[in-house]
Each structure stands twice: as C-alpha cells, then as structure tokens.
Structure 1
C-alpha cells in the first residue's frame, strides 16, 4: 500500500510540475505584432491536400483570396487526393492564375502508399516555386492577415519552420465543445513546448517552412512509410538539422480555424491517428512527457474504478482528480483568453471522466496503430 501511495504521489507531483512549466512557457511565448509599414517581399506557396472536400474547399480558397498579401507573391496549390467528389472542379472554377489543382493520382496510384498526405504535400511542393511553403487543410479558414503575419515572422525571426495557432469552431454540441477544449489545451502546450524546448509539436493546418530547409532534410524521406505525422515528423527532422530554428507565431491574427469532428466515432478515429505517430521518431522529450501524461491518467482511471470496491482507492483517486482539474484550469485560463473561449472552461471539470477515458483508450489504440480515416483503413 505504501508503494502505491508513493507511485501515485510521484505521478501527481510530476504532472503538477509539467502544468506549471506549460503555463510558464505559454506566458513567456511573446505576442507577435506586424508593423503597419511592413511591406512583404517573400514569395509564398500554400499547399492544401484535399480528399473529398467539396463541402469545404471553396470556403478555404475564398479565405486565401481575401488575404492582405500581394497577389503576385502568392500561389495556392490544391492536391486532389483521389477524391470521388467534385473537389478538383470547385478549385478550377475560381479561374485564378495563382490557384491551381493537381491530381495526386498523377504521382502516386491508389494503394501504392499509406502516407497519402505526405505524398500529396510532396507533390504540391515539387510543383510550387515559393520560398516559404505553408500548409493548411481543405476544411480550414484563415484570418485575413494570416499570410502577412507568417511572412513578417519569417523575415524578422529567420526560422526554418513556423508553427501557428489553430482553433476549433463549434456548433455548440457536446461532442464539439469537448473537442474544442481538448484541442485548445494541445495548442497551449504546442506554444509552451516550443518556448521551453520541451519537444516538437505542431499542426499541419497552420505550418510554414522554408523550401531550402525542406530540401536539406530531404522532405519526408525516412518517415514516408508512416501514415500519419506529416507535421510532427517533419518538425522533428527540422529540429535535428537546425537546432533552435523553429519558431511559434503567437498572434490572434494568425489563427487558422477549422471545424472539429462531427461525431464521437470520427473524433476517436482522429485521435487514434494522432496518437499513432507518437514514439515513431527520436524525440525523447515529447515521448517522456506523453508517457507521463498517459501513466498519470491511466493510474487515475484505475484508482477510480478500484474505488468502486475499495473506498481507500476512491479517496486517493478523487484527490488526484481534484488536483488535475485545478492545475489544468490554471494552465488553460490564459490560453482560453487568447482564443476567446474562457466561457468554455465552465464545462471543463464536468468533462474530466470522459477526458481521462479517451486519453487512456486512444493512447492504447494509437500504439496498436489501426484506424479509419478519409474512407481508408490504415495500419
């Protein structure tokens, strides 16, 4: 019993320290502002992989056409990933000289790879000519000053890669509010981890990197056998080749917004896909942190379940749960202010049992590495 108490106390203290570090990292990550006099000169290529995105791709492109960035310095390349709908036709209907669609089928046949998104990005980059490559998803909508902020940050700070903020829009449903809070936490951790050097984290919906750096690390070579991780695994390669040259763009004007998954099944499949890339590359810091988070939540779930039969376990589990709620809310409050989502935090304590269950189950299934995504079963 004493050994169990020591283990639980160790996990709890370690988790509290981690949340303290994350809050500190978020606070230390400076807000970036662009001067009104700034005049960009960097040529940008926005690469958008798209599979059966007829419902979304039009809004995505419209948000790019509304950017306050010189049209002559911008090209948009949509890579149609074997779509069965009219995604490509919608892109072509815009009739803009700097917006075009290419077919992934011209480069990779169906069934030839499991890493379709990496293949689509590689094809798009190979057909582009911008100095700064920016990736986003077909269901994303960008703020009007998104490209202007990325370009200014790139020119002023000289990073080889930039991770930017992403936000989930919601329709007010329970499943989408849950995802919004969970994802907002990941975004806060991404900014904090970058500032404190606590591992590589990013999201392909808002990611930029120099063409030269991409070529120097040979793109996705060496990780192109893995279905997921186009963003994270590329960042790990960049960090290894260019230590300290990855930046985080903390600016409300640079937020990219995207809808969460519409139901619990698709949400769970998405999280398994995200979890499947963990441990697939040499990033000991993030692997250690993810292991701590998983073990803390696993032990908490085990204690609460055991507490149904033994009251002492319930007391210990309840104490750990209270500590978890308090320290996570303390970390999340400034992040929620940045994303203008402080009211969502009112739901946070009530979502904890579901959050713990999903971390434990998605982490386990992600390690096994079998999931369904975009109509494909991936192993």
Structure 2
C-alpha cells in the first residue's frame, strides 16, 4: 500500500478511536440529583471579575448576578478594573450602586499593577469567601450557579470545580462557527475531566478554594504571559495533586463570541500563546491528535486526485468522522439544553479544516491585540 495512504489511514483510525472514546465517556455522564438541605451551612463565595473596557457588557453581567438564587449574605462580588478607558470611576461607581448586592470595586491603577493575572491575584487577596468563583465581564450567569457549586462542595470538598461555558449563538456564520468550535472544546474538556484527566478549564466558569490558590501561587512563573490564568491555575493544582472535579449540575455560563474576523484571529493567537506554555502531556497529545484529524480531511481530499485506491477509505473517514463529531456535540448540547442544528454543524464541519490553515498563517505574524493592548509572542 502507498505510504501516503498508510499515513492517512493511521491518522484517521487514531482520530476516530480517540473521539469515539471521548463521546462514549461523555454520553455516560449523569448529573447529580442532590438537593439543597436547608440545615446545611451555605458556602461563602466571592465572585471575582477582572475587566477592562467592558462598559457595554458589565451591566448585563451584574444584572444576572443580582438574580442569582442564593443568600445575599453568603456571597460578595469582587470587581477588579484593569485600567479601563471607556468608563470613568464615577460611572463605574454609579453602575455598581444600581444593584442590591455586595460589590467591592478595585482599580489596578491604584496599586501599580496591570494585566489579568495580576487582577485575579489581587482580587483573590481582597476576597473574603472560602471559595472564589471566577467569570468574565462579557458573561451571563445562570440563576442556580452558586447553589450548584455549593452542593458539590459540601458533597466532595474539591479544590477546584470547572463548569460549562457556551458562546451565545447569533444568526451569522461567524457566530455559528465560534459556537460549534467552542462547544467541541468544551465537550472534549468535560469528557477528559470526568475521567480524571483534566486538560483544560475556562475562567468564565470556575470555582476554587481560596486557601489552595494562595498556597499554590499559580502565577508565580508566568505573570509575563498575557493569557492563561485558567490553564496555569489548573496545571498548578494538578502538580500539587489537589482535588479537581467537573460541575455535576447543568448550569452553563453564556459568553459573548468575537464580533469580527480580526478579533477572532487575535483571540486564536492568544490561545496559541498560552498553549505553547502548557506542560500537560495529555493535553498536548490529545490536541495534536484532534488537530491532525482535521487536517487529514484536506490531506485525503488532495490524495483523491492522485490515488484512486483511497476513495473508499476517504469516504468512510469523512462519514465516520461526521457521525462521531455529531454525536459528541449533540450529547453536550442536550446535557446543557443548548441549541443544536445539524445543517449549521454540517457547514462548520466542511469549513473548519480549511480555517485551521488561516489560523496557522495568522500565527506567523506574532503581533496581536487584546483589550486595546498590543502584545507579541
């Protein structure tokens, strides 16, 4: 058999086995049916939000927080402003005072600090809650989020809980592309974590024990890296053999996707930058397999023009791959009651392998912007 056919077939088999295993494990996951016991002492939470230039989105986040079903005296909100230029301090204070919740507003400019990791670290030090729950300023929190985290905390006493996040899907191709792409990332991360192999989490929906954060000092060696506050925290907790769990309730945080192609490119550059510093071997190996599995579709398509013997193998691969990818995303969307459209997924399925080339070439330009700041990697 031609060497190129062997390479194509090997990648195809490896991808299908790995994604099939991920899908199978995810499908078997069941949410907890635990109910709140009124006699149990409620966990004290500090909701930590680092933000920069989010004047348009911050009110929606605060509105969702004000509607959370949890005792008001058992949680506080820590807002850390990272040198915003779209709101004055007076405007920030006026916004905070509109909501009947316990909000503490801090400014990194007052303490000579900047960037998100400094903001998170500073916010944790100012917090009084036993557990910190982080989210982003462009998010909407579900009403039962604190209750869900509390129930898992009293049941399992974890050091970190990772929760589900979904982009808000709009009626545009760019929005739908990001929606299914991010759903795939979330589904893979969830499946690995419930099997005791955490590879990723997301700061938009994550809680952790404050004392564990202070003891581990997760950003000590990576403060110079613009992104990765969630990934580096997870890696440090893994290194210290702390207890990491996935949220066993269906609460999902909704987040805004990028509104322009250039913003999406900058986001992917930022993600690539932090992935370069990831030390988790399982995450790197899995990421490589999934990446090669996507590029294999283009590789196989090219081979069709030169090798007739690959027609049957290629046809089997694209069909089997779509079936497994469909099942994976469908399983995740059903568990969290998220929208799912087979036609949209089919278009995403066709376009995605080609989009990877765009992202690869974009990374060759090492300059990128994030939150009105310029970076280079």
TM above 0.5: yes
SS in 2 for 1:159: coil
**Structure 1 residues 362 and 87, CA, compared in 2 at 3 Å: closer, same or farther?**
farther
Of residues 326, 329, 339, the one that matches 1:329 is 326
Instruction: Give the Å deviation of 1:323.
Output: 2.8
Q: Partners of 1:334 and 1:369 in 2: how far apart? A: 37
Worse-matched range after superposition: 132-141 or 339-348: 339-348
**Structure 1 residues 205 and 5, CA, compared in 2 at 3 Å: closer, same or farther?**
same
Q: Partners of 1:368 and 1:285 in 2: how far apart? A: 28
Aligned to 1:102: 106
Aligned to 1:51: 52
Instruction: Give the Å deviation of 1:25.
Output: 2.4
Aligned to 1:292: 289
Q: Partners of 1:138 and 1:310 in 2: how far apart? A: 51
Aligned to 1:221: 220
Aligned to 1:277: 274
Aligned to 1:178: 177
Instruction: Give the Å deviation of 1:146.
Output: 0.7
SS in 1 for 2:31: coil
Aligned to 1:11: 11
Q: Partners of 1:242 and 1:275 in 2: how far apart? A: 26
Instruction: Give the Å deviation of 1:17.
Output: 1.1
SS in 1 for 2:48: strand
**Structure 1 residues 42 and 198, CA, compared in 2 at 3 Å: closer, same or farther?**
closer
SS in 2 for 1:231: helix
SS in 1 for 2:192: helix
Aligned to 1:71: 72
TM-score norm. by structure 2 comes to: 0.90
Mapping of 1:226-265 within 5 angstroms? 226-243=225-242, 245-252=243-250, 254-265=251-262
**Structure 1 residues 107 and 312, CA, compared in 2 at 3 Å: closer, same or farther?**
farther
Aligned to 1:113: none
8 Å contact kept, 2:60–2:140: yes
Mapping of 1:90-129 within 5 angstroms? 90-93=91-94, 94-95=96-97, 98-109=102-113, 116-129=115-128
Q: Is structure 2 residue 259 aligned with structure 1 residue 266?
A: no
**Structure 1 residues 184 and 216, CA, compared in 2 at 3 Å: closer, same or farther?**
same
Consecutive unaligned residues in structure 1, runs of 5 or more = 111-115
8 Å contact kept, 1:261–1:267: yes
Worse-matched range after superposition: 149-158 or 135-144: 149-158
Aligned to 2:369: 372
Aligned to 1:212: 211
**Structure 1 residues 5 and 71, CA, compared in 2 at 3 Å: closer, same or farther?**
same
Q: Partners of 1:293 and 1:271 in 2: how far apart? A: 16
SS in 2 for 1:135: strand
8 Å contact kept, 2:61–2:141: yes
8 Å contact kept, 2:8–2:300: no
Consecutive unaligned residues in structure 2, runs of 5 or more = none
8 Å contact kept, 1:336–1:342: yes
Instruction: Give the Å deviation of 1:320.
Output: 3.2
**Structure 1 residues 32 and 370, CA, compared in 2 at 3 Å: closer, same or farther?**
farther
Q: Partners of 1:151 and 1:58 in 2: how far apart? A: 25
Mapping of 1:353-364 within 5 angstroms? 353-362=350-359
For residues 60-90 of structure 1, the C-alpha deviation after alignment (integer angstroms, 9 at most, x for no partner) is 1111111111111111011111111117545
SS in 2 for 1:278: helix
Worse-matched range after superposition: 207-216 or 327-336: 327-336
Q: Partners of 1:345 and 1:65 in 2: how far apart? A: 36
Q: Is structure 2 residue 165 aligned with structure 1 residue 161?
A: no
Worse-matched range after superposition: 155-164 or 338-347: 338-347
Aligned to 2:306: 310
Instruction: Give the Å deviation of 1:238.
Output: 0.4
Instruction: Give the Å deviation of 1:310.
Output: 3.1
How many pairs does the alignment contain?
371
